[in-house]
Structure 1
Amino acid sequence: MSDFIVGLTGGIGSGKSAAAARFTEHGIAAIDADVAAREVVEPGQPALAAIAERFGPDVLLANGELNRAKLREIIFNNAEHKTWLESLLHPLIRQRIADFLQAATSPYALLVSPLLVESNQKEMVDNVVVVDVPEAIQLERTMARDGNTEQLVRNIMAAQATREQRSAAANFVIDNSADLASLYLQVDDIHRQLLLLAEA
């Protein structure tokens, strides 16, 4: 097991995935909390049955998979539904992440999570790397990538930690307002520092 766990986070559209991909190019084992979250609601999983029971068949697609857009619409317009969903999913996601980190054998392991600072996942890591961009860039990138309305993206951003909260929790901050080459240079530099910390 990797004894040193690093959390990688950033707001929606900040470029977490691109940064994570660069860390894995260095041979670092990484688990994405979003992927773990998708796995716990796959067809056949008890959590998916519980979600369908609460919100009705509209939250399922014709193939039996979760209709994410529909669920997102429901929970971002109703705090009570959001709380219920989080209390169902967070313990399952946390267990899946813990199992992965337990099995990782790289010098340090990476937990990629958009809600690292807001959730209790922060307790699972020894160091925090934040990918940061101005809110205007977050909006622009997310709308272009997901085809979402500006209002929906703003609602998602409002549910996440602020840039200030994330920066306050960070051991390292990556400024991703420039190009990919700039992002990679920063990741490479942080990777070298994390290797030293992991050894220590």
Structure 2
Amino acid sequence: MFVVGVTGGIGCGKTAVTDYLASKGIVIADADQASRVVVEPGRPALQSIAEHFGQHLILDDGNLNRRALRDIIFNDPNEKVWLEQLLHPLINNQLKQELQQAGSIYSVLVSPLLFETKQNTMADRVLVIDVAEEVQIERTIVRDDISREQAEAIIQSQANREKRRSFADDLIDNSGTIEQLHQQLDELHNRYIKLSRS
């Protein structure tokens, strides 16, 4: 199975990329989605989080209060490390399962922390989605309804732009229109089909 790892900082447009590839029948294994699956009600990780941080992080419907947890770990680097040590192996196992079950000609592993979590080792090729940092900040503030300070903190917690670009086998500049994005993706899609067949 040929796997393309897709990454980019917050607000770069990873979802626009994967939605378009999914519309072409490509299976997407999404690390953000996997991070939700591993803390679903009844999963051991959710119990561990409640025991460590307190029951107040569990909502009335039994789900994790992700926003409250995000506030805690952004203000305490030690708690962030604890949470990552719990969740990253579980997320990686979930992604491996999804990729093994994928039935498309190639599949995509999308993750904002592709390199930081060594998930790039699951990919044959890496596609980096790139925009200027100011664009990232503006898009993130609007999309997630957070402060500029929070948006900047998220960007600081991710691999820096130059480092990400240096790891790229393929690079998309997503500061243009959706049509320009799709045009770039059509070319890459055809290339990935050829590579997966060779």
TM-score by length of 1: 0.97
- Please list the CA deviations of residues 40-76 of structure 1 after superposition, one character each: whole Å capped at 9, or x if unmatched: 0011111001001101122122222111111011111
Q: Which residue of the partner structure matches residue 120 of structure 2? A: 122
**Aligned equivalents of 1:58, 1:188: Cα separation in 2:** 46
Q: Which residue of the partner structure matches residue 57 of structure 2? A: 59
**Aligned equivalents of 1:161, 1:132: Cα separation in 2:** 12
TM-score by length of 2: 0.98
Q: Which residue of the partner structure matches residue 86 of structure 1? A: 84
Q: Which residue of the partner structure matches residue 4 of structure 1? A: 2
Matched position secondary structure for 1:14: coil
For structure 2, the 5+ residue unaligned runs are none
For structure 1, the 5+ residue unaligned runs are none
**Aligned equivalents of 2:7, 2:79: Cα separation in 1:** 25
Mapping of residues 85-164 of structure 1, within 5 Å = 85-164=83-162
Q: Which amino acid aligns with 1:47?
A: A
Matched position secondary structure for 1:114: coil
Q: Which amino acid aligns with 2:80?
A: K
Q: Which amino acid aligns with 2:169?
A: N
Q: Displacement, 1:117?
A: 1.8
Matched position secondary structure for 2:128: strand
**Aligned equivalents of 2:52, 2:100: Cα separation in 1:** 33
- Counterpart pick for 1:75 among 68, 73, 79: 73
**Aligned equivalents of 1:62, 1:179: Cα separation in 2:** 41
User: After the TM superposition, which segments of 4 or more aligned residues of structure 1 sit over 6 Å from their partners?
Assistant: none
Aligned residues: 198
**Aligned equivalents of 1:149, 1:59: Cα separation in 2:** 22
- Please list the CA deviations of residues 107-138 of structure 1 after superposition, one character each: whole Å capped at 9, or x if unmatched: 11100111002111011100000110000000
Q: Displacement, 1:31?
A: 1.1
Matched position secondary structure for 2:61: coil
Matched position secondary structure for 2:9: coil
- Please list the CA deviations of residues 124-182 of structure 1 after superposition, one character each: whole Å capped at 9, or x if unmatched: 10000011000000000010011100111111110001111111111111111011111
- Counterpart pick for 1:37 among 35, 38, 44: 35
**Aligned equivalents of 2:67, 2:99: Cα separation in 1:** 29
**Aligned equivalents of 1:8, 1:102: Cα separation in 2:** 17
**Aligned equivalents of 2:176, 2:94: Cα separation in 1:** 34
Aligned 8 A contact 1:58 1:70 in 2? no
Q: Which residue of the partner structure matches residue 47 of structure 1? A: 45
